[in-house]
Amino acid sequence: MRMPTTRTEWVYEQLKEAMMAGKLPPGERLVVDQLAKDLGTSSIPVREAIRRLEAEGWVENTPFVGARVAPVRVEEFSELFTIRLALEPILARTAVRGVTDEDIGRLEQLVDGMDEAIEQNDAAEFSRLNYEFHRSLYELSPWKELFRIVMGVWERCARSRWVFIHNPASMHTSQQEHRAMIQALRNRDEDALERLTRLQKERSMSGYMSFVQEMAHQSDAIKT
């Protein structure tokens, strides 16, 4: 994992992680002085980090109200997940064509790491490794422009990491799916890997959209 190079970047990473984990939920006010105290830093890097998060859509700044964590928008997430459902199975299918045994070994190591995260009840670490698993799988595809597009959409969906934190049981289901994907890779079975990827995306989309709708209702309640 790349280490932050400046104090502002470190604060940015801390705040973004807290938002993805739901520790700073949608609608939460971002009080600069309090955040600076909590993070053990001055207010300057906090302000700079909040401005960056606002530019990326994570924060909304309202006159006479101040900065808040941006609300979850059901329509936006529905669109993003629909894009992922259409494109990720293609990346998975094309990943089979040049996969090596060494590549499969790296993916197996990530799955083993996720097993350890489950044993330690560490949903945040599981989420990080789950991202690395799919990124590493899709990166095997020779379709590099499609890979770039999908990774951009994944970044927009970063809040989907909440699903493992608020629904830990889904980690076990995901692991079964990951092992089936690795077996399809080992068999060089394009059709199977494409199908498994689509099924996982459909399942995760259904579960996460239910969660997004719940969070959106909570966000509306906070604002009112």
Q: How confident is the model at residue 161 (pLDDT cuts 50, 70, 90)?
A: low
d(CA 146, CA 152) in angstroms, rounded, equals 10
Token duo for residue 218? 């909570």
**Which sequence spans correspond to the domains of the chain?**
7-70, 74-214
| The listed CATH number (3.30.70.360, 1.10.10.10, 3.20.20.70, 3.40.50.970) that belongs to domain 7-70 | 1.10.10.10
| Buried-exposed string 13-25: b where 16+ CB fall within 10 A, e elsewhere | ebbbebbbbbebb
pTM, full prediction: 0.76
Mean of per-residue pLDDT scores for the chain: 87
Please report the pLDDT score of residue 75 as a whole number.
84
**50-93 residue pLDDT tens:** 999 988 878 998 888 899 998 877 788 889 889 999 999 999 99
**108-132 residue pLDDT tens:** 999 999 999 999 988 878 888 999 9
Which CATH superfamily does the domain covering 74-214 fall into?
A: GntR ligand-binding domain-like (1.20.120.530)
Token duo for residue 86? 């259409």
Nearest of 85, 108, 199, 93 to residue 140 by alpha carbon? 93
Q: How confident is the model at residue 18 (pLDDT cuts 50, 70, 90)?
A: confident
Please report the pLDDT score of residue 206 as a whole number.
83
Whether 217 has a pLDDT exceeding 50, the answer reads yes
Report, as an integer, the average pLDDT of 35-39: 95
Choose the weakest-confidence range: 2-6, 13-17, 58-62.
2-6
d(CA 168, CA 87) in angstroms, rounded, equals 26
